[in-house]
Structure 1
């Protein structure tokens, strides 16, 4: 009969002149998104406390070391962008996951993801999301990653350690998702999706944040496994 020795788990997310929107979800350091038109926050939500995350290689017969670990907090913002279109409105969703790294190796696996999908399909195929990117700056230096839906442009400012990659699944008429195999290389992952919708219609987004989880136990030898647990915002 197996004796569970320890369980580490995460329980429960033109260089044009931009109009800057202040983000207050994370106080240190301050993060912001920007857009070439004004925008208002239609709805926002942040987790009140941090959740632990853990990573590492699945193993049998050896004690896994060094395991990356830390904490993560999530914020979600739904934006309504200003426009002069009498037949449509423009909405966006910003996902922020703020990661701390406290121990282990940043290069060890710790798969995470975050996604947002609307209940309304974009009109006239007018939509966009933050694309894939690989950081070339330090863990504390924000990047500027833009998107463009024609009538205006916008950008987010993720902070990711040099050499670490974030992959976008690819924007669709309803949303997008983003992932990284190594959460230890993330400081703040900020992503955005924007869509054109019928005037007067307010999209509801299903938002998921995937948190790395790692289990270690011993019966006659060491075992370890990895998986992801999710935190949800429905009808956001």
Structure 2
């Protein structure tokens, strides 16, 4: 049985919530009593995800293209209009992109990955933080990656974007440290989700070989850590990086 985290009365946004880690996080936050807004670019899939969580409390589905600042701003406006406010933001949405050396990497793919994985996190924070400042309360968790700490070969765009997410987390955490707003990030090792469909088997084997635990991350394990980080109990730590790499990175 999962440890109980109290999120009663809180409104949470989870991006990329239609599947994978995002859906696991949304489910865990719903179990903790949060009202949910699921943001995802796949309208049909996010609607299905929201429907599956209805028995756990109030949940709405919001179609959002994270790489488009206007789409993100509209998603925030709609969420606040329907749910009153946003107390919690979990920036989870992202893509891995192709696995190939830098010298062969297509420029359009580089831009696409950075737009979604880094710029999109910035857009979400920019849209949601003003309300948190006004209410003097907020919890933000950005889902980075172990690749952002160490850099994975043949995944330069993804690694660079996730390193940027780590730095953005530290910067924003310091900016908001004088308020009751905590901004932290997690750095997961690979988990068996749909993102594996974008990655070569050779790269999957490489990632597994680097994990001392000898297995991939379970999405429920990521959700458990994130549930604490978005709770009122996490009232002091901000601008921090929490490891989920199974022992691969110990710093």
Q: Same fold (TM over 0.5)?
A: no
Structure possessing the higher radius of gyration over alpha carbons: 1
The structure with the largest strand share of the pair is: 1
Flag the structure with more relative contact order, 1 or 2, with Cα contacts below 8 A and sequence separation at least 6: 1
